[in-house]
Structure 1
Amino acid sequence: MESKGCCSCKAKTEAPRPPTPHVAMLVTPGMGHLIPLAELAKRLAAHHGVTATLVTFASTASATQRAFLASLPPAITSLSLPPVDLSDLPQDAAIETLMSEECARSVPALTEILTELKSSKRLVAFVADLFGADSFDAAVAAGVPKRCLFFPTNLHGLTLILNLPKLHESIPGEFKDMAEPLRLPGCVPIPGPDVLSPLQDKSNPSYKWMVHHGARYREAHAILVNSFDAVEPDAAAALRAPEPGRPTVHNIGPLTQTREGSTVGGGPREACLEWLDRQPAKSVVFVSFGSGGALPAEQMRELALGLELSGQRFLWVVRSPSDEGAVNANYYDAESKKDPLAYLPEGFVERTKDTGLVIPSWAPQIKVLAHESTGGFLVHCGWNSVLESLVHGVPMVAWPLYAEQRQNAVMMSTEGGVGVAIRVPETKRKEEIAEAVREMMVGQGKGALVRAKVAELQKAALEGLCEGGAAAAALAEVVHTWTGEDK
């Protein structure tokens, strides 16, 4: 008679499975940093069986951030670092300085967190985002095997920061005063005034911090970038070529929120989506300057009149103007400080009620971009928003504000760049705004080329994330270096 129970005998002799690999991720302040890192954590959990802990800073413990963290799957947990004292910094300290100082001063507390995680989990790697390079010290002290940098923007920005220590030595004056554009391997030439905003004043501590980060990036075992080859192929090729002392660079993007994952704010069916339901296909320009952007009052007025003059339907997320602060005044808190509708031209809302909808502070951006009525995006050129637009096949009008946004606008524009956006002229007069919006939406020249290029890149972006695609393969390669396991 055949013996029964042989399967259970075999099970008893099998070696126990190793513990689940775990990764710790440091999120420097800003939802634009948290969202892509969280998406990376989701992909690690869903496709590679890797769990994650997101470590956040006390300075960004906003209601928006708490709601977002609470919405993440069980494989992703979060911890907040204790507050650090930044009162010795000047009142006008740049955001880049604040984030860098907060990270550097949090190294002892982070070392404790990583040591505890290592004692209770199979901690295979530590990932810091772009302002967190000093946190590598904590990973070394805690004995974490692999240190990686997550760069949430593009290869152009990474190439610049990696080259900053050399550029600091070779360019004596200010970038904004350069007679010729900055030329870096594989990159679109960047005019001096469009180079990253924290680099525009070498006497500012933020500049010194960026040079410092550029040097420390080279201590990473690998750099993971939220971009994809098709959107910047020459830069990808240049960074793929081996260079002594530079970590391997992996394009793992686009990492963007899905409609299902966009849970922060709004009700069951937001009013703006109901309004979009009533509009013709691809007829609406979505206007938003990200979670942290605001315009000066005069530019708000010109934008309003430009939208009206364009004759196009629009959905505009309005915030109170930035005249009393910086254009990134809302960086730590996305809520508008005052009633923004009070700053619009008299009669504007009434005159445009049949073609436009103005909403204060916030809209469900992913759902708006995914809506069939959305045909264009007037965007501040934050990289998350650019990727979301490309993933949903929405052409853009570029209106950069701060950080790397001007550099992104050069890279994306039709003048020598990728050709997915029409840039609004610096003068930002209502006639120029109207012309750019009209061309992007219905133009048969430059606008038609932009719409075709966006459709091409949408296909490449989605294919790369599929099993066997370039981004999926790049991430699998990274995970293998962490765990030694193939998934």
Structure 2
Amino acid sequence: MNKKTYIAMVPSPGLSHLIPQVEFAKQLLQQHNEFIVTFIIPTLCPLTPSMQQVLNTLPPNIEFIVLPQVKHLPEINLEPATQMKLIVKHSIPFLQEEVKSLISKTNLVSLIFGLFSTDAHEVAKQFNLSSYLFYASGALSLSFFLTLPNLDDSVSSEAEFLESAYETVNIPGCVIPFHIKDIPEIILCERSNVNYKIFLEVCQKLTLVDGFIISTFTDLEPDVIRVLQEKEKPCVYPVGPIIRNESNCEDNINSMCLRWLENQPPNSVLYVCFGSGGTVSHEQLNELAFGLELSGKKFLWVVRVPSKDVNSAYFVGAKDDPLEYLPNGFLERNKENGLVVPSWAPQVEILGHGSIGGFLSHCGWGSTLETVVNGVPVIAWPLFAEQRMNARLLTDVLKVAVRPKVDDESGIVKREEVAKCVKRIMEGDESLEIQKRIKELSDGAAVATSEHGSSRKALSSLALKLHNF
């Protein structure tokens, strides 16, 4: 009889969902080696090289199973969140078979799944397993998503829903109201829209789980965490910050970036990156380029092929050379002041380098945690999903970021505004205040994950629950 306790994890599709759940599994097993974890991965298409690399380098006590590819989705032009939900939904028969097989061979006790894998809860229920939502973003957005079903019930028409329900929203545990512009676009669709209906279904299932495992920590979101923990169910486990210790390195780019950074003064370089799937339009790419040049500050910029679709690189990368889309002469003029790399850079190592003095970020939660842990001031440039909520948290609640103003006529951030924001976080009194505040958060993150810290205690409490189910 195998004495190990087994847990199955079902991440939401996509690299940016797989990585934090893998890092959580590593953290759990590092501190509680009596568990074995099996990842069961829903797919629409073959795994990307980056995802394959993550899976191929898992430690021995983490196994993985890739489910058969879903043949097709019923509609085209779906939001990424909707695509992810439907991929998992159509993978449920495959998931059932794998869970049944694991139960026959192991002491499987629980399913832990991502936000867009909530259909896995039904499988957990079917096989009498405990179920936990691993929430890879912050407590703030989770608190809002938990209120969405009630907000949806409170209005009687689509027009009323769009015009009044979200003029401002008070999120439980947050000290400031959120405006309509801060809310994920998928929620602002008409209620008959398939993307909205499917996301509402996700939110309606949230309270069915046994617990929320959240990649945050008490000092970062104290009031929201307190409000979530006051509810009798589900239990809340703030176990973060959960971030990578190292990037999945592409050696040539890795060494090139770090070599260049070694030759720059301390706190002198702005790192510019829009996450694993974010893109901007060609017009915005040009304005950003000219703005970086105008600022006179050093920069390391990860450039992607521009697109009017802000998440065009989420599932599939572009084949063109991104550098071809930069303004004429930009690379030559800035060869002494900046380093531009196509598509990917070793973000973990870059943000931890002493020459980095600022981060122009899309405010995905993984990047948010990495910049907090490393104590790097932020220019908040959200693109999609809950990133605008994260940006508002960074700028108006935590006050460790500045946010560029969008031009009313063109709908883009002009070069002068880019340059202004770069200077705001990298020179002057405002910069010093921001640096002081984010250093305090960085210290708080270190304390939370220390031996007697709040996140370590939360993880131990979760491990005990998993054992005793």
Instruction: State the 1:441 CA deviation.
Output: 1.1
Task: Identify the residue that residue 331 of structure 1 maps to in structure 2.
Answer: 314
User: Is the counterpart of residue 292 in structure 1 residue 277 in structure 2?
Assistant: yes
How far apart are the structure 1 equivalents of 2:58 and 2:101?
22
User: Is the counterpart of residue 88 in structure 1 residue 74 in structure 2?
Assistant: yes
Which runs of 5 or more structure 2 residues have no equivalent in the other structure? 408-412
Query: Secondary structure in 1 aligned to 2:68?
Result: coil
179 and 464 in structure 1: CA distance in 2 versus 1, 3 angstrom threshold = closer
Task: Identify the residue that residue 319 of structure 1 maps to in structure 2.
Answer: 304
Task: Identify the residue that residue 424 of structure 2 maps to in structure 1.
Answer: 439
Query: Secondary structure in 1 aligned to 2:458?
Result: helix
Kept after mapping to 2: 8 A contact 1:161/1:210: no
User: Is the counterpart of residue 76 in structure 1 residue 62 in structure 2?
Assistant: yes
Instruction: State the 1:74 CA deviation.
Output: 0.9
User: Is the counterpart of residue 183 in structure 1 residue 165 in structure 2?
Assistant: no
Instruction: State the 1:87 CA deviation.
Output: 4.1
**Deviations 1:375-432 (CA, angstroms, capped at 9, x unpaired):** 110000100001011111111100010111111111111xx32112111112211111
Of 235, 239, 250, which residue of structure 1 is paired with 2:237? 250
How far apart are the structure 2 equivalents of 1:46 and 1:229?
21
Query: Secondary structure in 2 aligned to 1:481?
Result: helix
Instruction: State the 1:269 CA deviation.
Output: 5.0
Of 441, 448, 465, which residue of structure 2 is paired with 1:481? 465
* Higher mean C-alpha displacement, 54-63 vs 26-35: 54-63
Amino acid at match of 1:357: L
Amino acid at match of 1:163: T
**Deviations 1:257-296 (CA, angstroms, capped at 9, x unpaired):** 002xx23423495211111110001110000001101110
Query: Secondary structure in 2 aligned to 1:82?
Result: strand
Task: Identify the residue that residue 286 of structure 2 maps to in structure 1.
Answer: 301
Which runs of 5 or more structure 1 residues have no equivalent in the other structure? 1-15
TM-score, normalising length: structure 2: 0.94
Kept after mapping to 2: 8 A contact 1:175/1:193: no
Instruction: State the 1:477 CA deviation.
Output: 0.4
Structural mapping, 1:148-297, within 5 Å? 148-171=132-155, 172=157, 173-175=160-162, 180-187=167-174, 188-202=176-190, 203-243=192-232, 246-259=233-246, 262-267=247-252, 269-297=254-282
**Deviations 1:294-352 (CA, angstroms, capped at 9, x unpaired):** 110111011001101111100000001013xx11000013x343121121111111111
Of 466, 469, 480, which residue of structure 1 is paired with 2:450? 466
How far apart are the structure 1 equivalents of 2:168 and 2:391?
14
How far apart are the structure 2 equivalents of 1:227 and 1:267?
33
Kept after mapping to 2: 8 A contact 1:309/1:431: yes
Kept after mapping to 1: 8 A contact 2:7/2:38: yes
**Deviations 1:221-266 (CA, angstroms, capped at 9, x unpaired):** 11111111111111111112125xx41111111100002xx23423
269 and 290 in structure 1: CA distance in 2 versus 1, 3 angstrom threshold = closer
Kept after mapping to 2: 8 A contact 1:176/1:193: no
Instruction: State the 1:58 CA deviation.
Output: 2.1
User: Is the counterpart of residue 67 in structure 1 residue 56 in structure 2?
Assistant: no
How far apart are the structure 1 equivalents of 2:302 and 2:171?
36
Kept after mapping to 2: 8 A contact 1:297/1:321: yes
User: Is the counterpart of residue 389 in structure 1 residue 365 in structure 2?
Assistant: no
How far apart are the structure 2 equivalents of 1:199 and 1:112?
34
Kept after mapping to 1: 8 A contact 2:212/2:237: yes
User: Is the counterpart of residue 19 in structure 1 residue 3 in structure 2?
Assistant: yes
CA RMSD after TM alignment: 1.7
Task: Identify the residue that residue 423 of structure 1 maps to in structure 2.
Answer: 403
Of 378, 387, 392, which residue of structure 1 is paired with 2:360? 378
Kept after mapping to 2: 8 A contact 1:174/1:201: no
How far apart are the structure 1 equivalents of 2:131 and 2:384?
29
Instruction: State the 1:466 CA deviation.
Output: 1.4
How far apart are the structure 2 equivalents of 1:273 and 1:48?
34
Amino acid at match of 2:173: G
Instruction: State the 1:178 CA deviation.
Output: 5.6
Query: Secondary structure in 1 aligned to 2:277?
Result: coil
Kept after mapping to 1: 8 A contact 2:43/2:87: no
How far apart are the structure 2 equivalents of 1:340 and 1:267?
18
327 and 177 in structure 1: CA distance in 2 versus 1, 3 angstrom threshold = farther
% identical equivalent positions: 36
How far apart are the structure 1 equivalents of 2:285 and 2:165?
31
Task: Identify the residue that residue 433 of structure 2 maps to in structure 1.
Answer: 449
Query: Secondary structure in 2 aligned to 1:397?
Result: strand
Amino acid at match of 2:401: A
Instruction: State the 1:137 CA deviation.
Output: 1.1
What is the number of residues matched between the two proteins? 457
Query: Secondary structure in 1 aligned to 2:213?
Result: strand
How far apart are the structure 1 equivalents of 2:73 and 2:459?
40
Query: Secondary structure in 2 aligned to 1:77?
Result: strand
193 and 177 in structure 1: CA distance in 2 versus 1, 3 angstrom threshold = farther
Instruction: State the 1:200 CA deviation.
Output: 1.8
Kept after mapping to 2: 8 A contact 1:196/1:404: yes
TM-score, normalising length: structure 1: 0.91
How far apart are the structure 2 equivalents of 1:228 and 1:477?
15
Query: Secondary structure in 2 aligned to 1:81?
Result: strand
* Higher mean C-alpha displacement, 210-219 vs 175-184: 175-184
Kept after mapping to 1: 8 A contact 2:279/2:312: yes
407 and 464 in structure 1: CA distance in 2 versus 1, 3 angstrom threshold = same
Task: Identify the residue that residue 410 of structure 2 maps to in structure 1.
Answer: none
Of 358, 367, 373, which residue of structure 1 is paired with 2:349? 367
Query: Secondary structure in 2 aligned to 1:86?
Result: coil
Kept after mapping to 1: 8 A contact 2:272/2:302: yes
Instruction: State the 1:475 CA deviation.
Output: 0.9
Task: Identify the residue that residue 338 of structure 2 maps to in structure 1.
Answer: 356
User: Is the counterpart of residue 139 in structure 1 residue 124 in structure 2?
Assistant: yes
Instruction: State the 1:180 CA deviation.
Output: 3.8
Divergent runs of 4+, >4 A? 174-179
Query: Secondary structure in 2 aligned to 1:52?
Result: strand
How far apart are the structure 2 equivalents of 1:318 and 1:123?
44
